[in-house]
């Protein structure tokens, strides 16, 4: 019997997302900071002789199956599944004749703006590299990751990264302190292409030009130790240009954003800043400590439509073999 190779890759939140104008392909230039989170997708790969690739999805937590493994994922044709596409790309690139039976254990909500599908692709690339005995370093897989989706390179590398180009050209920004992030998922998903299309209706609000580097001051805030003195400045770093278009499509997200943004600490300073995660509808808010994270989660959960709050931490490593 063939041995099974298991790899995992993390979800992400975009701590900063500035969106530029679309190009002729309709893709947008981005200036973004990816922050990986300790919620991981897992892909197990068992080689098969006949070259075929099959996939089975299963929820990481069966009691949450409605959120993490909706029926539409099983209805997705196998050739469109990002883990299958990743293994196919490895076969085609390296002339591999071996196939694979994949079991994808989903922990990250689908279509939530946390790059769940991209994490599957990254984990599948890493599992396939090991299963097929390829001695290529991670950086050599980045061009393949880019072909699979704009978020896939960030899931492959994990940690904290500056993303430019389509968000798929990356530079490591660490080390940074471990931070808590409260991620409030939604009962209804939101399509990434639709959010970008909505953004195109207001071209005047998209940056004409984007920076290529973070400023010294921004980097210092990201990398510095958090304290109640620096927290408000750190919060001011957080922004997401996709918020407005996402709110136009999903006005229900405005109330939980405003509710959490109104929370204050004992000194009457903002407790956090709630932002849209990627293209949404998941909302994200960092916390200075666990009690603050719990308070933020409780507040999010008072709003209809919020499905579940995850209290996560990061940054974490990218794709790993188990």
Ligand X SMILES: Nc1ncnc2c1ncn2[C@@H]1O[C@H](COP(=O)(O)OP(=O)(O)OP(=O)(O)O)[C@@H](O)[C@H]1O
- Binding site, annotated residues for ATP: 109-119
| Structure-block tokens of residue 106 | 């989903």
- 150 touches ligand CDM (CB under 6 A): yes
Gap between the Cα atoms of 240 and 242, Å rounded: 5
User: Catalytic pick from 12, 88, 106, 129?
Assistant: 12
For the bound state, the minimum distance from the C-beta of residue 315 to ligand CDM, rounded and expressed in Å, comes to 15
Residue found by looking up tokens 């990751």 in the block: 145
User: Strand locations in 244-317, DSSP E?
Assistant: 275-276, 283-287, 306-314
- 3 state DSSP class of 188: coil
- 3 state DSSP class of 72: helix
User: Catalytic pick from 120, 151, 168, 241?
Assistant: 151
For the bound state, the minimum distance from the C-beta of residue 88 to ligand X, rounded and expressed in Å, comes to 13
- 73 touches ligand X (CB under 6 A): yes
- 3 state DSSP class of 5: strand
The residue among 253 and 271 lying less far from ligand X, judged by its C-beta, is: 253
Asked about 264 being catalytic, the answer comes back as: no
Asked about 151 being catalytic, the answer comes back as: yes
- 158 near 255, Cβ under 8 Å? no
Helices 254-261 and 290-300: angle between axes, nearest 10 degrees: 150
Query: Quick one: which of 6, 11, 28, 222 contacts ligand CDM (CB under 6 A)?
Result: 28
Residues labelled catalytic: 12, 151
Residues in touch with ligand CDM (CB under 6 A): 14, 17, 26-28, 30, 32, 115, 118, 149-151, 166-167, 192-193, 196, 278-279
- Binding residues (CB under 6 A) for ligand X: these are 73, 76, 80-83, 110-118, 120, 151, 192, 278-279
């Amino acid at each position: 019997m063939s041995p099974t190779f298991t790899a995992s890759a993390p979800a992400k939140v975009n701590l900063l997302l500035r969106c530029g104008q679309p190009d002729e392909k309709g893709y947008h230039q981005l200036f973004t900071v990816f922050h990986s989170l300790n919620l991981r997708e897992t892909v197990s790969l068992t080689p098969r002789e006949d070259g075929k690739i099959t996939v089975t999805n299963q929820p990481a937590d069966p009691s949450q199956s409605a959120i993490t493994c909706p029926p539409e994922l099983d209805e997705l044709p196998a050739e469109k599944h990002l883990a299958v596409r990743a293994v196919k790309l490895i076969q085609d690139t390296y002339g591999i004749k071996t196939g694979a039976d994949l079991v994808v254990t989903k922990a990250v909500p689908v279509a939530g703006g946390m790059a769940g599908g991209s994490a599957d692709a990254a984990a599948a690339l890493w599992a396939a590299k090991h299963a097929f005995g390829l001695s290529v370093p991670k950086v050599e897989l980045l061009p393949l990751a880019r072909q699979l989706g704009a978020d896939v390179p960030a899931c492959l590398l994990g940690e904290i990264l500056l993303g430019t180009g389509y968000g798929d050209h990356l530079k490591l920004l660490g080390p940074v302190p471990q931070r808590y992030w409260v991620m409030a998922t939604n009962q209804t998903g939101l399509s990434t292409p639709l959010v970008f299309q909505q953004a195109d209706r207001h071209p005047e609000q998209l940056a004409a030009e984007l920076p290529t580097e973070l400023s010294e001051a921004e980097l210092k805030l990201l990398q510095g130790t958090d304290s109640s003195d620096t927290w408000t400045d750190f919060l001011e770093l957080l922004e997401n240009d996709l918020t407005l278009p996402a709110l136009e499509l999903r006005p229900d997200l405005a109330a939980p954003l405003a509710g959490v943004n109104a929370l204050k600490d004992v000194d009457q300073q903002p407790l956090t800043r709630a932002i849209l995660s990627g293209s949404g509808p998941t909302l994200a808010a960092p916390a200075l400590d666990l009690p603050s994270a719990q308070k933020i989660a409780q507040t999010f959960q008072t709003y209809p439509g919020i499905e579940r709050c995850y209290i996560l931490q990061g940054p974490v490593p990218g794709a790993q073999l188990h």
